Amino acid sequence: MASLKQFDPASGTRDFLAAEYERRERAFATIRDVFSRYGFQPLQTPAFERLDVLTGKYGDEGDKLVFKILRRGEHEASGEADLALRYDLTVPLTRAVAAYGSQLPSPYKRYAIAPVWRADRPGKGRFREFVQCDLDIVGSSSPLSDAEVVLALYDALTSLGVPEFRFMVNSRHVLLGLLDAYDVPADLGPGVLITLDKLDKLAPEAVVAELVTGRGLPREAAKGLVDDLTAPDADARIRAELKSSATGQEGLAEVDRLLELTGDVIPAERIGFSPNLVRGLDYYTGIIFEVAAPGMPGSIASGGRYDGLIARLGGKDAPACGGSLGIERILPLLADTDADDYAQTDVAVTVMGEDLAADSFRLAAEIRRAGVRTGVYLGASGKFAKQMKWASDQGARFCVIYGNTERDAGVVTLRDMVSGEQTEVPLTEAAAELARRCAPTD
Amino acid sequence: MASLKQFDPASGTRDFLAAEYERRERAFATIRDVFSRYGFQPLQTPAFERLDVLTGKYGDEGDKLVFKILRRGEHEASGEADLALRYDLTVPLTRAVAAYGSQLPSPYKRYAIAPVWRADRPGKGRFREFVQCDLDIVGSSSPLSDAEVVLALYDALTSLGVPEFRFMVNSRHVLLGLLDAYDVPADLGPGVLITLDKLDKLAPEAVVAELVTGRGLPREAAKGLVDDLTAPDADARIRAELKSSATGQEGLAEVDRLLELTGDVIPAERIGFSPNLVRGLDYYTGIIFEVAAPGMPGSIASGGRYDGLIARLGGKDAPACGGSLGIERILPLLADTDADDYAQTDVAVTVMGEDLAADSFRLAAEIRRAGVRTGVYLGASGKFAKQMKWASDQGARFCVIYGNTERDAGVVTLRDMVSGEQTEVPLTEAAAELARRCAPTD
Average pLDDT over residues A13-20: 95
Closest CA to A42 of B438, B10, B20, B13: B20
Point out the least confidently predicted range of A152-166, A325-339, A414-428, B390-404.
Answer: A325-339
Instruction: Answer yes or no: is B426 within a domain.
Output: yes
Residue A415 lies inside a defined structural domain of this protein: yes
Quick check: B30 contacting A, CB < 8 Å?
A: no
Measure in Å the smallest separation between the Cα of A187 and chain B Cα atoms.
31
Q: CB A378 to CB B80 under 8 A?
A: no
Handedness of CA B148, A360, A340, A324 (dihedral sign): positive
Query: Which of A140, A357, A374 is the closest to B378 by Cβ?
Result: A140
Beta-bridge partner residues of A131: A115
Quick one: pLDDT band at residue B326, thresholds 50, 70, 90? Answer: very high
The reply to whether B420 falls in a domain is yes
Asked whether residue B145 is assigned to any structural domain, the reply reads: no
Nearest CA in chain B to A65: B72
Give the mean pLDDT of A228-240: 91
Q: What distance in Å separates the CA atoms of residue A227 and residue A322, rounded to the nearest whole number?
A: 31
Residue A344 pLDDT > 80, yes or no? Answer: no
> Is B407 annotated in some ligand binding site?
no
What is the pLDDT at residue B57?
A: 81
Q: Taking CA atoms, what residue in B is nearest to A34? A: B368
pLDDT tens, position by position, A73-124: 899 999 999 999 999 999 999 999 999 988 898 899 999 999 999 999 988 8
A45 touches chain B (CB under 8 A): yes
| Structure-model confidence comparison of residues A327 and A190, the more confident one | A327
More confident residue, A276 or A249: A249
CB contact under 8 A, A46 and B13: yes
User: How far, rounded to the nearest angstrom, does the alpha carbon of residue A234 sit from its chain's CA centroid?
Assistant: 32
The shortest CB-CB distance from B344 to any of A105, A119, A151 is to A105
Nearest chain A Cα to B104, which residue?
A17
Angle, CA A134 vertex, CA A129 and CA A139 arms, to 5°: 140
Is residue B167 in a domain?
A: no
Q: Is B260 on the interface with A (CB under 8 A)?
A: yes
Contact A373 B14 (CB under 8 A): no
pLDDT at residue A1 in the model: 35
Mean confidence (pLDDT) of chain B: 91
Has B146 been labeled as part of a binding site?
Answer: no
Tell whether B89 is in a known binding site: yes
Predicted pLDDT of residue B300: 95
Q: Return the pLDDT at B5.
A: 66
Does residue B398 surpass a pLDDT of 60? yes
Instruction: Indicate the angle between helix axes B357-369 and B430-438, nearest 10 degrees.
Output: 50
A262 contacts on B by Cβ (under 8 Å): 358, 361
Per the domain annotation, does A62 fall within a domain? no
Question: Residue B371 maps to which CATH number?
Answer: 3.40.50.800
Q: Determine contact: A28 vs chain B, CB below 8 A.
A: no
What percent of chain A is modeled with pLDDT above 70?
A: 97
Range of the domain at B431: 343-437
Instruction: Establish whether B88 is an annotated binding residue.
Output: yes
pLDDT over 50 (residue A347): yes
- For A10, the closest of B7, B50, B137 (CB atoms) is B50
Q: Which of A117, A99, A97, A115 is nearest to A41 (CA)?
A: A97
Closest residue in A to B91 (Cα–Cα): A7
Query: Any idea what the Cα angle at residue A400 is, between residues A399 and A406, rounded to 5°?
Result: 145
Residue in chain A lying closest to B366 (CA):
A265
Range with the poorest average pLDDT among A165-169, B231-235, B405-409: B231-235
A282 to chain B, closest Cα gap in Å = 25
Judge whether B297 and B307 are in contact, CB under 8 Å: no
Residue A96 near chain B (CB below 8 Å): yes
Give ∠ CA A273-A276-A279 in degrees, rounded to 5.
Answer: 100
B354–chain A nearest CA distance, Å? 10
Nearest residue to A362 via CA among A397, A412, A398: A412
Confidence of residue B338 (pLDDT cuts 50, 70, 90): low
In a mutagenesis test of the B interface, which of A48, A65, A111, A356 is the best target, namely the one with the most B β-carbons within 10 Å? A48
**Which pLDDT value is given to residue A47?**
98
Do A36 and B72 make contact, defined as CB atoms within 8 angstroms?
Answer: no
**Does some domain include residue A394?**
yes
Q: Which of B51, B121, B142 to mutate to test the interface with A (most CBs of A within 10 A)?
A: B142
ipTM of the complex: 0.91
What pLDDT, in 10s, does the model give residues B50-77? 999 988 888 788 889 999 999 998 999 9
B362 and A17 in contact by Cβ < 8 A? no
Distance CA A395, CA B41 (A): 13
Q: Give the whole-angstrom CA distance, residue A388 versus residue A394.
A: 10
Please tell me the predicted confidence (pLDDT) of residue A225: 92
Q: What is the pLDDT of residues A271-300, one digit of tens each?
A: 999 998 988 667 899 999 999 998 888 899
Instruction: For residue A260, give the nearest of B43, B358, B379 by CB distance.
Output: B358
Contact map slice: B 295-354 vs A, CB within 8 A: 314-315, 342, 344-345, 351
Nearest to A39 among B119, B265, B373 (CB): B373
Q: Is A424 on the interface with B (CB under 8 A)?
A: no
CB–CB of A85 and B47 under 8 A? yes
The verdict on B55 touching A (C-beta cutoff 8 Å) is no
Interface with A, mutate which of B51, B69, B313 (most A CBs under 10 A): B69
**Nearest CB to A46: which of B14, B70, B98?**
B14
Q: Is the pLDDT of residue B12 over 50?
A: yes
Q: Does B183 touch chain A (CB under 8 A)?
A: no
What band does A4 get if pLDDT is binned at 50, 70 and 90? very low
A223 lies within 8 A of chain B by CB: no
Residue of A20, A41, A102, A374 to mutate when probing chain B, most B C-beta within 10 A: A41
- C-alpha torsion A259→A265→A266→A268, nearest 10: 70
Question: Which chain B residues are within 8 Å of A99, Cβ to Cβ?
Answer: 4, 7-9, 15
Q: What angle do CA B258, B277, B123 make, to 5 degrees?
A: 120
**Percentage of chain B surpassing pLDDT 70?**
97
Residues 6+ apart with CB under 8 A from A338: A23
Is A281 a member of any domain? Answer: no
User: SS3 sequence, chain B?
Assistant: CCCHHHHCCCCCCCCECHHHHHHHHHHHHHHHHHHHHCCCEECECCCEEEHHHHCCCCHHHHHHCCCEEECCHHHHHHCCEEEEECCCCHHHHHHHHHHHHHHCCCCEEEEEEEEEECCCCCECCECCEEEEEEEEEECCCCHHHHHHHHHHHHHHHHHHCCCCCEEEEEEHHHHHHHHHHCCCCHHHHHHHHHHHHHHHCCCHHHHHHHHHHHCCCCHHHHHHHHHHHHCCCHHHHHHHHHHHCHHHHHHHHHHHHHHHHHCCCCCHHHEEECCCCCCCCCCCCCEEEEEEECCEEEEEEEEEECCCHHHHCCCCCCCEEEEEECHHHHHHHCCCHHHHCCCCCCEEECCCCHHHHHHHHHHHHHHHHCCCCEEECCCCCCCHHHHHHHHHHCCCCEEEECCHHHHHHCEEEEEECCCCCEEEEEHHHHHHHHHHHHCCCC
Task: Residue A380: list chain B partners with CB under 8 A.
Answer: 140-142
Q: What pLDDT, on a 0 to 100 scale, did the predictor assign at position B262?
A: 96
How many structural domains does chain A have?
1
CA distance A253 to chain B (A): 14
Alpha-carbon gap, residue A350 to A374, rounded angstroms: 11
